[in-house]
A and B are shown apart, each in its own frame.
Chain A
Amino acid sequence: MFGSHEVPTELRRRLAIASAAVSVTILLLVLRMWSLQILQGEELSILSENNRIRLRRIAATRGRVVDRHGRVLVESEASYDAVLVPEDAIDLENTVETLAHFLRQSAAETSAVLERAAGRPRFQEIVVKRDLEWEEVVAIETHQTELPGVSVNVTPKRYYPEGETLAHVLGYVGEVTREDVENSDYYRSGDLIGKSGLEEVFDEQLRGINGGRHVEVDALGRELRVLDKVEASAGQTLVLSVDLDLQRAAEDALGDRVGAVVALDPNNGDVLAMVSRPSFDPNLFNGGIRKSDWKDLIEHPRKPMTQRAYRGQYPPGSTFKFIVAAAALQEGVINPFTGIHCGGSYRMGKRDFRCWRAGGHGRMNVVQALAQSCDVFFYQIGQKLGVDVVARYARSFGLGAPTGIAIGNEKGGVIPDRAWKLENMKEPWYPGETLPVAIGQGYVTATPLQMAHAVAGLAVGRLYRPRLVLSTEDVEGKAITSLPAELVGGLEIKPAVLEEVRQGMVQVVNHPGGTGRSAALEGVVVAGKTGTSQVVALGRKRIKAQDLPWQHRDHAWFVAFAPAEAPEVALAVLLEHADGGGGKVAAPVAGAVMNEYFRLKQSRGAVVSHVQD
């Protein structure tokens, strides 16, 4: 049969209905075109002729940063910015020049504005100057007719009420770079972005979500009416582990000296204080730092922009000895009663390796050797252990690699071993190189954060990753995320060994012959270890710090934890190129910080019990 109609009737009926539906739908589209092009055509034509619709950004308020007790470290306040829409400036160059006159801008700044305006859609506004003075706002408002396309926008700016305090940790904000804009859906040129510290790492949480509004503007760019509007939503609040009081105390204890202090809670890794001196005022960066200010910061001989606490890498010197002691006891190289004689130097091959005490310490066991920081004792056990074993233990205490704290560009220091030297220096390890390593010199370097981390590990037998941010909250203070303490791992060292090493460190502070007695506190047993690390080899000479040029002076270290029997706080103090050894200059700083820690604890406890009464 000639089957032109084999498709069932029902199917054909349905196809006919479909055809009718299609026809109706297309007709509806025609009606939509009629409505847009004929009925609203006139009105939309006017809008298109001199495209008068502008999308104006409503900048989200950047989130706050508070300390563990809710005290504000960073917040946002209003900034009045001069903005320009090139589309509305009748004569762009002329407008920019007139504006420069009112804003007291230089010719270079003016041409920079014009440069930014080029190569962007003409209806997009550009920020000419942030954070205007009140007179400048008034000048723009009153001279509006001379300044077509210019308006004053209120946007949030960053305010750091504590100034230099915690500046390296908080970081600062600055204008986005071209790459930032290309790599993100969020940022447009002219926006502010976190440039360093927590501002950078937690930028996504802090920045919030921008809103905006469609506005119709007149020929001068002034708003005639708002067509629609999407409100911005503010960024999250970061709650830090830092205790502002302790932070201030640590800064005061360092004073004008160059160095770093890191205080951790060994039981969870919380960073209670993190100081790097000298510091800078992040408020300077608001809305673009002035060239002269930037030059001052960069060319300052003591480098205030350097984050010494987690980016400064220094030979740890004798503070490293607690790790070597633990290694030797655990490996069975010595036992708690093993005595080693120190005659002031140790001969290996043709070289004499000297102890810091020229006359020698006599016979001493491990506790005594730690208490008096005897170099000869550690040369010998270091030699017996070998560099690879020392390195293995040092790494188990978190040295030689970044701790993983949530902040950018952390340094990891160096823990040398045979493989490291072969790879980095293309040379085999020489036995004589092991001895300096045993006293934390040679190639060994660590950051103050790493040393605090390591001594916290010794204090409790486990390592927690240093934690700066406890949680994030929304504007109302409701928790959004909380970042739990993170256990990196337990130390694979017998409790008895750890106890022996801790005992040695208690003696450092509490024994009459200890090197760190100036860190002792009343009523709390402190355990610690001093360190004085050489910056330049002095050969046989013994020269007082005061007689050396600053940059050749030794670094002074002190690491500590307290109370020794149930540690609550662990810290590392580093004084760069100090005018004395660790016991003389670093230990008192540590003592002052710990003293403040226990004083605060007591006064807070008192307040709590008072409330409970």
Chain B
Amino acid sequence: MFRIDRRLIANVEWPLLIVTVLLVACGLMTILSATYQESQPFSSFFIKQAIWAGAGFAGLMLAMFFDYRLLHRYGYVVYLAAVFSLLLVHVAGTQAGGAQRWLGLGPVSLQPSEFMKIALVVVLATNLHRWAGGARLGLGRLIAPIVLFAPPAFFILRQPDLGTVILLGLVVFSVLLVAGLSLRVVLIAALVVGPALPFAWQQMKPYQQARVTSFLNPQADPLGAGYHVLQSKIAIGSGMLHGKGYLQGTQNSLHFLPEQHTDFVFSVFAEEWGFIGAVMLLALYAALILRGLVIATKAKDNLGALLAAGLTATVFWQVLINIAMTSGSLPVVGITLPFLSYGGSSLLALLTSIGLVMNVSMRRHTY
């Protein structure tokens, strides 16, 4: 089962790994800048994130070398374990910033909702792989995914963390879409709703936007949030073509940016590296996501295809929402930027996801 034969080594998915390493490096570099102080150049945030990155690559290796087809049998176990950890957060979690999202395990605290993102994709792939690509998914087939979505959504809403629930919803939607949801229905819905949302957002009066934001994220001071988005746009825009240079971002160093190492890390990056840097970063994300979809296409079986596609979709939606949010095109919903935002559980989960996608890729030629 855990055979690591030469064929596997030969098939290691180098492009995806290289893009991932580059993104993690960008993340560490930006967190260093976001939390930089002359008196203490290496902040505790940077050091912790570096340690988590190490743990994350270990997770990536582990996720890569077992045979993902074991998930045929254990997919539901993975899912139940993740839901159980959310239940634990609910009853015994620790609080920070008005939300109860973390489980303390000795010196480290984990955020199980990050791992739920993987577990949900795993269980959906397990559930849907037999039908994927065959006849159109009828309504009856939709019951199971919705039932599987409900418990994590419930627990994460209670934390409260609406951003993650929205993300999980988008992931379920994406997997269903790939697996065979009627394309016509979805296209019409997407064509109507998709572009309309940011457009409607920009048409709204500030106080209406504040209402939406406070609905989506009751903790945030609606005015403060508006101020932050404004400052974030100033940060990004003032980077202009070339950027202000590494560690030279004034918006960041003068503390005009909120949460500059988590939700608004992209603003720090874009201020310092300018349009050129931002486009290169977007190109890295594009490469990662498109490569993930290629791996899905070439997968040996439906399980692998859905797994790779779902995990890739998770990254895609987070990138889209976070960058749209920091550039003022979407309300601030508290979704972090994959690989760049500070957050140990998030990085560990992301690198584990990449490991799984690589796992699928490596086994496309094996029996």
Q: Which of A19, A214, A228 is in CB contact (< 8 Å) with B290? A: A19
B227 at the A interface (CB under 8 A) = yes
Known: A22-B290, A37-B275, A41-B237. A8 touches B226 (CB 8 A): no
Which of chain A's residues have a CB closer than 8 A to the CB of B367? Answer: 3
Which of chain B's residues have a CB closer than 8 A to the CB of A15? Answer: 178, 293, 296-297, 305, 309
Known: A10-B180, A29-B320, A211-B223. A22 touches B293 (CB 8 A): yes
Which of chain A's residues have a CB closer than 8 A to the CB of B238? Answer: 41, 44-45, 47-49
On whether the beta carbons of A14 and B323 are closer than 8 Å, the reply is no
On whether the beta carbons of A11 and B132 are closer than 8 Å, the reply is yes
A32 at the B interface (CB under 8 A) = yes
Which residues of A in the span 22-64 have a Cβ within 8 Å of any Cβ on B?
22-23, 25-26, 29-30, 32-34, 36-38, 40-45, 47-49, 51, 53, 55
Q: Which of A9, A18, A26, A48 is in CB contact (< 8 Å) with B309? A: A18
Q: How far is A229 from B298 in the complex, measured between Cα atoms in Å?
A: 53
Which of chain B's residues have a CB closer than 8 A to the CB of A42? Answer: 240
A: number of interface residues (CB 8 Å)? 54
Q: How far is A43 from B233 in the complex, measured between Cα atoms in Å?
A: 11
On whether the beta carbons of A11 and B207 are closer than 8 Å, the reply is no
- Chain A CB within 10 Å — which of B275, B285, B365 has the most? B275
Q: How far is A495 from B241 in the complex, measured between Cα atoms in Å?
A: 90
A332 at the B interface (CB under 8 A) = no
Which of chain B's residues have a CB closer than 8 A to the CB of A229? Answer: 206-207
A430 at the B interface (CB under 8 A) = no
Which residues of B in the span 279-304 have a Cβ within 8 Å of any Cβ on A?
279, 282, 285-286, 289-290, 293-294, 296-302
Which of chain B's residues have a CB closer than 8 A to the CB of A230? Answer: 206-207, 210, 222-223, 226
Q: How far is A52 from B2 in the complex, measured between Cα atoms in Å?
A: 61
On whether the beta carbons of B221 and A33 are closer than 8 Å, the reply is no
- Chain B CB within 10 Å — which of A12, A34, A121 has the most? A12
Which of chain B's residues have a CB closer than 8 A to the CB of A10? Answer: 133-134, 180
Which of chain B's residues have a CB closer than 8 A to the CB of A47? Answer: 234, 238
Say how far A280's CB is from chain B's closest CB, in angstroms.
35
Which of chain B's residues have a CB closer than 8 A to the CB of A121? Answer: 255
B329 at the A interface (CB under 8 A) = yes
Residue of A nearest to B135 (CB): A10
Q: Which of A22, A53, A227 is in CB contact (< 8 Å) with B286? A: A22
Q: Which of A4, A36, A185, A210 is in CB contact (< 8 Å) with B237? A: A36
On whether the beta carbons of B227 and A14 are closer than 8 Å, the reply is no
B219 at the A interface (CB under 8 A) = yes
Q: How far is A15 from B236 in the complex, measured between Cα atoms in Å?
A: 33
Give chain A's interface secondary structure class.
helix
Q: How far is A18 from B181 in the complex, measured between Cα atoms in Å?
A: 13
On whether the beta carbons of B302 and A22 are closer than 8 Å, the reply is no
Q: Which of A14, A185, A227 is in CB contact (< 8 Å) with B219? A: A185
Give chain B's interface secondary structure class.
helix
Known: A29-B323, A37-B274, A212-B223. A18 touches B206 (CB 8 A): no
On whether the beta carbons of A36 and B302 are closer than 8 Å, the reply is no
Which of chain A's residues have a CB closer than 8 A to the CB of B297? Answer: 7, 12, 15-16
On whether the beta carbons of A48 and B250 are closer than 8 Å, the reply is yes
On whether the beta carbons of B237 and A7 are closer than 8 Å, the reply is no
On whether the beta carbons of A11 and B180 are closer than 8 Å, the reply is yes
Residue of A nearest to B227 (CB): A55
B144 at the A interface (CB under 8 A) = no
Which of chain A's residues have a CB closer than 8 A to the CB of B207? Answer: 229-231
On whether the beta carbons of A6 and B286 are closer than 8 Å, the reply is no
Q: How far is A527 from B305 in the complex, measured between Cα atoms in Å?
A: 89
On whether the beta carbons of B279 and A51 are closer than 8 Å, the reply is no
On whether the beta carbons of B305 and A53 are closer than 8 Å, the reply is no
A285 at the B interface (CB under 8 A) = no
A123 at the B interface (CB under 8 A) = yes
B162 at the A interface (CB under 8 A) = no
Residue of A nearest to B290 (CB): A19
A337 at the B interface (CB under 8 A) = no
On whether the beta carbons of A228 and B226 are closer than 8 Å, the reply is yes
Known: A4-B365, A19-B293, A34-B275. A40 touches B302 (CB 8 A): no
Residue interface mask B145-186, A partner, CB < 8 A = 1: 000000000000000000000000000001001111001000
A134 at the B interface (CB under 8 A) = no
Q: Which of A7, A38, A43 is in CB contact (< 8 Å) with B301? A: A7
On whether the beta carbons of A29 and B324 are closer than 8 Å, the reply is yes
Which of chain A's residues have a CB closer than 8 A to the CB of B282? Answer: 26, 29-30, 33
What would be 24 A-B contacts, judged by CB atoms less than 8 Å apart? A2-B365, A3-B300, A6-B301, A7-B296, A14-B177, A17-B183, A19-B294, A29-B327, A32-B327, A36-B233, A37-B237, A37-B240, A37-B270, A38-B240, A44-B234, A44-B236, A45-B237, A51-B256, A55-B223, A121-B255, A122-B254, A185-B221, A211-B223, A214-B227
> Given A3-B367, A32-B324, 9 other A-B contacts at CB below 8 A?
A7-B302, A8-B133, A14-B180, A32-B329, A34-B275, A37-B278, A45-B240, A48-B250, A53-B230
Residues in A lying within 8 Å of B, measured CB to CB: 2-12, 14-19, 22-23, 25-26, 29-30, 32-34, 36-38, 40-45, 47-49, 51, 53, 55, 121-123, 185, 210-212, 214, 227-231
Shortest beta-carbon contacts, A-B, top 3: A44-B237, A8-B133, A11-B133
